[in-house]
Amino acid sequence: MKKIFTAVVLITAMASMAFAQNAVTFQVNMGKQVTLGNFDPNADTLYVSGAFNGWGTGNPIPKPAGNDSVWVVTVPAVGASGTTSEYKFRFRDVSGAADVWESVANRVVTIGGDPTVVDVVYFDNNGYSATTLINLTFSVNMELERLSGRFTPSEDTVSVNGNFNGWTSLVNIMLPSANPDIYEVSFDKEVALAEELNYKYWYTPNAWESRANRQYIITQEDITAGFLVQEGTYNDGSLATVINQPCTIKLTVNTNGASGPIGPFTEVTNAIVAGSSAPLGWPGGGWPTSDSAIVIRLFDDGTNGDLTAGDKIFSKDILFPAYTSLGAEYKYGLNFGLATNQGSNDNEAGVGSNHTFGWQINYVSATAVDTFGRITVANLINVVTGVKEIDNNIPNNYNMSQNYPNPFNPSTSIQFSIPEAGMVRMVVYNAIGQEVAVLLDGEKAAGNYEVSFDAAKLPSGIYLYTIQSGSFTQTRKMMLLK
């Protein structure tokens, strides 16, 4: 009996050790940031943010005594021994009223003892080395952004944001050059040999490029010349890297069994989406609830493109304008603005971990099938790949023809005619009236058109397709046979 009792005690102790949440001591050297004028130790607030606190500001780092440059904080209950946790350092820049994050990849700590003490690192991995003052010039072509209607030169402001200015917007403001679509800025900066510049272009109100950070490593030639010029096109845009027409994406996210930074959600009350390309936008750091006007609400009530009310699959049809980047990014959030958001509205994955669409230049519409927490390229189904004008004639009447071929597998074409310019919306429904695809949702000139529909990921059955333009509506049936 004594042996059994001893075994139980040992097993219980081992289980307690396995599930114990150990503390971690984080250390960061801020000396170089103070020297560069990026960080004011007497006014700014430094934090460590990570999966353990919802990437929020729950763990401020106290100012060290005297002139010590190493800031230290011990965070309790970060994780069990043998597990890992991602984190970054950030600070609140009082002078710029902005959150400044490290631009390096998420740092990772492997948890061992209690506490686990992490080695001292430099903020942004920017330590001390010999520096030289050189002139930096940045130039970006905004033509496709202007043509898309997202960027309005008379209203919007462009800036270059990077690790050289704390990733703060509107510090290095860019102005039009002799070519009004090309924006430029020049400024002096202390640089070191082999120093890595990380940056992106940005414009108001909060439009960041939908691409990985631009990078440049300072060479001896740059230091000898005393200047550096970096030229580019916003989002690396060309007709080969953007959608060439408006595209409607039905965003759907399955939240059944969803987990956030600290574990499973006990309930899902709402779902939102944010992103890099209009009409999506990125909220400020930590996604404050005050930025609710920037995010887009998704629905689970059978409206706004949602198929089934109450199934915890939230949906919304979103129209992206022509010239949207093929690299556009997006991300979901659950329980936005509620106490049940696990401490942060940005709660799907770590900072910088985003979905991408994976669409092509000729897409007109598609459905993105996502699962909350799985950061992947979107699974796009019900893809429509083009609306083409058949001829140059102007019809006398509105009409939508029977699809051909019919029955079909898996693709078919539908022709329609509109005698007046206007908005045209064409939608496919299943036999019980659920919207399964948006074939067209945009402005069209008077004329005769043909739209192609790929139903490769739909089941066999009878489907209805409807056109609406002005006061004209028409509905027909088609049959998918696989």
Identify whether residues 227 and 188 lie together within a single domain. Answer: yes
* Predicted local confidence at residue 19, as pLDDT: 58
pLDDT, greater one: 364 or 48 = 48
Predicted confidence (pLDDT) per residue in 431-473, tens digit: 988 888 888 888 889 999 999 888 888 899 999 999 999 999 9
Answer whether 0.85 is exceeded by the pTM.
no
Identify whether residues 150 and 203 lie together within a single domain. Answer: yes
* Predicted local confidence at residue 235, as pLDDT: 92
Mean pLDDT of 181-210: 93
* Predicted local confidence at residue 15, as pLDDT: 45
Report whether pLDDT(130) > 80: no
Instruction: Report yes or no on 345 lying in a domain.
Output: yes
Report whether pLDDT(3) > 60: no
Tell me how crowded residue 451 is: count the other CB atoms within 10 A of its CB: 24
Q: How confident is the model at residue 375 (pLDDT cuts 50, 70, 90)?
A: very high
Report whether pLDDT(12) > 50: no
Residue 338, φ and ψ in degrees, nearest 5: -110, 160
User: Among the three residues 380, 411, 426, which one is the final residue of a domain in this structure?
Assistant: 380
Q: How confident is the model at residue 306 (pLDDT cuts 50, 70, 90)?
A: confident
Instruction: Report yes or no on 459 lying in a domain.
Output: yes
Identify whether residues 374 and 256 lie together within a single domain. Answer: yes
- CA–CA separation, 273 vs 181, rounded Å? 30
Predicted confidence (pLDDT) per residue in 136-185, tens digit: 999 999 999 998 889 999 999 999 999 898 898 999 999 999 999 999 99
Mean pLDDT of 95-116: 89
Of all residues in the chain, what percent carry a pLDDT higher than 90?
69
Identify whether residues 403 and 435 lie together within a single domain. Answer: yes
Identify whether residues 372 and 260 lie together within a single domain. Answer: yes
Mean pLDDT of 91-102: 86
Instruction: Report yes or no on 288 lying in a domain.
Output: yes
443: containing domain: 387-480
Tell me how crowded residue 18 is: count the other CB atoms within 10 A of its CB: 10
Identify whether residues 228 and 290 lie together within a single domain. Answer: no
User: Among the three residues 207, 236, 265, which one is the final residue of a domain in this structure?
Assistant: 236
* Predicted local confidence at residue 166, as pLDDT: 84
Identify whether residues 223 and 267 lie together within a single domain. Answer: no
* Predicted local confidence at residue 14, as pLDDT: 46
Report whether pLDDT(390) > 60: yes
Report whether pLDDT(108) > 50: yes
The token pair that represents 71 in the structure block: 């800031």
- CA–CA separation, 160 vs 202, rounded Å? 6
Identify whether residues 60 and 19 lie together within a single domain. Answer: yes
Identify whether residues 373 and 252 lie together within a single domain. Answer: yes
Q: What is the CATH number of the domain that holds 280?
A: 2.60.40.10
- CA–CA separation, 213 vs 351, rounded Å? 14
Report whether pLDDT(363) > 70: yes
Mean pLDDT of 74-87: 94
The token pair that represents 224 in the structure block: 């000898």
Mean pLDDT of 222-238: 94
Report whether pLDDT(392) > 50: yes
Mean pLDDT of 282-302: 93
- CA–CA separation, 468 vs 442, rounded Å? 11
Mean pLDDT of 87-92: 94
The token pair that represents 318 in the structure block: 């979103």
* Predicted local confidence at residue 16, as pLDDT: 47
Predicted confidence (pLDDT) per residue in 346-357, tens digit: 999 877 789 999
Instruction: Report yes or no on 152 lying in a domain.
Output: yes
* Predicted local confidence at residue 8, as pLDDT: 44
Q: What is the CATH number of the domain that holds 398?
A: 2.60.40.2550
User: Among the three residues 359, 380, 401, which one is the final residue of a domain in this structure?
Assistant: 380
Report whether pLDDT(229) > 80: yes
Instruction: Report yes or no on 59 lying in a domain.
Output: yes
Residue 19, φ and ψ in degrees, nearest 5: -100, 0
Identify whether residues 112 and 210 lie together within a single domain. Answer: no
Report whether pLDDT(9) > 70: no
Mean pLDDT of 268-294: 93
| Strands 365-371 and 355-356, sheet pairing | unpaired
Tell me how crowded residue 329 is: count the other CB atoms within 10 A of its CB: 21
* Predicted local confidence at residue 5, as pLDDT: 47
Identify whether residues 116 and 161 lie together within a single domain. Answer: no
User: What's the total number of domains in the chain?
Assistant: 4
Mean pLDDT of 298-310: 91
Instruction: Report yes or no on 241 lying in a domain.
Output: no
Task: Name which of 8-17, 151-160, 225-234, 464-473 the model is least confident about.
Answer: 8-17
Average pLDDT in the chain: 90
Our CA angle for 377, 54, 214, nearest 5°, is 50
Q: How confident is the model at residue 307 (pLDDT cuts 50, 70, 90)?
A: confident
What b/e readout covers 303-317, taking b as 16+ CB neighbours within 10 angstroms?
Answer: ebbbbeeeebbbbbb
Report whether pLDDT(280) > 90: yes
Identify whether residues 214 and 276 lie together within a single domain. Answer: no
The token pair that represents 480 in the structure block: 């998918």
Report whether pLDDT(333) > 90: yes
Instruction: Report yes or no on 242 lying in a domain.
Output: no
pLDDT, greater one: 298 or 190 = 298
| Strands 107-110 and 121-122, sheet pairing | unpaired
Instruction: Report yes or no on 254 lying in a domain.
Output: yes
* Predicted local confidence at residue 267, as pLDDT: 95
Tell me how crowded residue 51 is: count the other CB atoms within 10 A of its CB: 18
- CA–CA separation, 1 vs 79, rounded Å? 35
Report whether pLDDT(425) > 50: yes
